[in-house]
Chain A
């Protein structure tokens, strides 16, 4: 199972802070977003925004290649700490 985490205001758009899913075989970040968003079109559009970073297995995804094993995916909107 893969843990999907929605951070900050994304959790309100997703309707939950996190959920567990069984990921199918996916080749690209776009496919991952499409699977995670399902039929929530506004969430799909938001997750595809360049300002939303994808953190996979606690590392920022750089590039377009997904790791072979995905234990956790977090979607991170722009930060506002400090």
Chain B
């Protein structure tokens, strides 16, 4: 399941709902990314390419499900303005055994970082600075090329 939304969410509740009624999954791994309150940042603003975002995240999700057959995934990515401490992104993967969940969750996050159409702007006072992607993010995503 994929949700792209501006509303804040409760990662604990999302995880519980995701696992509700599943009796055949022995493992679940989740990751939540939060706004880091560094350098006097008062807010973070995320922009996205509305109609395109879910399609692109959907491609990433399908790739994960093909690499690790039998997993189930839940992805939430927010857009809009958010304050330090608030969750931005949530990924949960469940599988029969733990390794697929760990690997697929890492794959999903590495891929979201470099392939989901979002742009971050750090707001400090009345100024905004667009965030450039980091080389380490590309390196993390590249490790998955042609590798299961």
Contact = CB atoms under 8 A, between A and B. Distances in A.
Contacts, number: 58
Interface SS majority for chain A: loop
The 8 closest A-B pairs by CB, nearest first: A81-B118, A8-B119, A82-B113, A9-B130, A82-B112, A80-B131, A81-B116, A80-B120
Interface in B68-123: 77, 88-89, 109, 112-120
B46 interface: yes
A72 B117 CA distance: 16
Given A80-B120, A82-B109, A55 B49 contact: yes
A74 interface: yes
A59 B53 CA distance: 12
A50 to B, nearest CB: 14
Interface in A30-81: 55, 58, 74, 76-81
Interface residues of A, number: 14
Nearest to A5: B49
Interface of B: 33, 46-49, 51-52, 55, 77, 88-89, 109, 112-120, 130-133, 137
Contact of A82 (B51, B118, B132): B118
B44 to A, nearest CB: 11
Contact of B119 (A5, A7, A74): A7
B48 A74 contact: no
A76 B117 contact: yes
11 contacts: A5-B49, A55-B49, A58-B51, A77-B119, A78-B133, A79-B113, A79-B114, A79-B119, A81-B117, A82-B89, A82-B109
Contacts of A58: 51-52, 55
A79 B55 contact: no
Given A80-B131, A80-B133, A8 B51 contact: no
